Amino acid sequence: RGKRAFIAGVADDNGYGWAIAKSLAQAGAEILVGTWVPALNIFESSLRRGKFDESRKLQDGSLFEIAKVYPLDAVYDTPEDVPEDVKTNKRYAGAKNWTVKEVVESVKNDFGTIDILVHSLANGPEVSKLLSETSRKGYLAALSASSYSYISLLKHFLPIINPGGASLSLTYIASERIIPGYGGGMSSAKAALESDTRVLAFEAGRKKRIRVNTISAGPLGSRAAKAIGFIDTMIDYSFTNAPIQKELNAEEVGNTAAFLASPLASAITGAVIYVDNGLNAMGVGV
């Protein structure tokens, strides 16, 4: 049978999550997605109204299906963790069972198991602030949404990921080099995510032979990236300075994810894989 993938962090057809879903679908996987609760209605209605049909097209012309969209807020592990103001918030009130634990229970009830887990989400409320001007609250929020959310997803999904499965996340080189503008503790959050990738690779590998890798992606003008504000500058910088001078296509990240999730990558785990036209290898901009 084909593999089944759960991709957390898809709310439109512009980001890396969507591109990964598409590449996995192209490779024959069944696709489940987790969509941030406040973005759920617009994502589902856009899907229904055919707004994404052009980008749903596979190589043979058919449109890939999302078997199910689950509302998700990866900042909360269980219903007990959800504060009153979020519970009663209009943008959350319409949806049900969207904490990590509940989403995994729903997936288990609906499908039994998965083979591939993808974490393609990040959030840093103070991303536009310098690290040295970030509040404790903002810093911890960045880590909670962008790093711990991955530990939580993997922890809860682990019992229902089939042995031999694979797990992936998305990171950014600001974890290891200075990228002014990627503030609010987001650089710290990506450093944690990369370190956790190694430790989780060990733990999930020994427990269930599950491989855990992260893709360090180059700049893409996604919704999240536009919110940071410097994405066009980063795209231009990469185009000018990378070894391969071309635009980075989200599909290239999607295809790498499909490779990493496949048996072709059966000995790759605990790795940070760069998909950035080689920009990471440069020492100076030229």
The residues annotated with a catalytic role in the active site are 172, 182
Tokens describing residue 11: 């709310």
By CB under 6 A, residue 74 contacts ligand NAI: yes
By CB under 6 A, residue 219 contacts ligand NAI: yes
Rounded CA-CA distance 229/232 in Å is 8
Stretch that binds ligand NAI, among 53-61, 114-122, 237-245, 278-286 (CB under 6 A): 114-122
Please identify which residue in the block is written with the tokens 């940070």. 272
By CB under 6 A, residue 258 contacts ligand NAI: no
Report which of 134, 132, 127, 215 is spatially closest to residue 170, judged by C-alpha positions. 215
Asked if residues 130 and 183 have their Cβ atoms less than 8 Å apart, the reply is: yes
By CB under 6 A, residue 127 contacts ligand NAI: no
Strand partners, 57: 63
Stretch that binds ligand NAI, among 23-31, 72-80, 88-96, 106-114 (CB under 6 A): 72-80
By CB under 6 A, residue 137 contacts ligand NAI: no
Rounded CA-CA distance 136/141 in Å is 8
Choosing from 7, 9, 29, 277, the residue that interacts with ligand NAI (CB under 6 A) is 9
Strand partners, 32: 6, 68
Tokens describing residue 57: 């097209």
For the chain, how far is it from start to end, CA to CA, in angstroms? 49
- Give the residue with the Cβ less far from ligand NAI, 163 or 229: 229
* Interface size with ligand NAI, residues (CB under 6 A): 28
Tally Cβ neighbours within 10 Å of residue 187.
Answer: 24
From the CB of 219, what's the least distance to ligand NAI, in Å?
Answer: 4
By CB under 6 A, residue 217 contacts ligand NAI: yes
Stretch that binds ligand NAI, among 58-66, 86-94, 154-162, 221-229 (CB under 6 A): 221-229
From the CB of 141, what's the least distance to ligand NAI, in Å?
Answer: 10
Asked if residues 29 and 2 have their Cβ atoms less than 8 Å apart, the reply is: yes
Asked if residues 37 and 98 have their Cβ atoms less than 8 Å apart, the reply is: yes
Please identify which residue in the block is written with the tokens 């790795």. 271
From the CB of 19, what's the least distance to ligand NAI, in Å?
Answer: 8
Please identify which residue in the block is written with the tokens 């990228």. 179
Please identify which residue in the block is written with the tokens 């890798």. 213
By CB under 6 A, residue 138 contacts ligand NAI: no
By CB under 6 A, residue 75 contacts ligand NAI: yes
By CB under 6 A, residue 153 contacts ligand NAI: no
Strands 161-171 and 211-217: parallel
By CB under 6 A, residue 11 contacts ligand NAI: yes
Query: What residues numbered 28-57 form the site for ligand NAI, per CB under 6 A?
Result: 36, 39
Q: Site residues (CB under 6 A) for ligand NAI?
A: 9-11, 14-17, 36, 39, 72-75, 120-123, 145, 170-172, 217, 219-220, 222-225
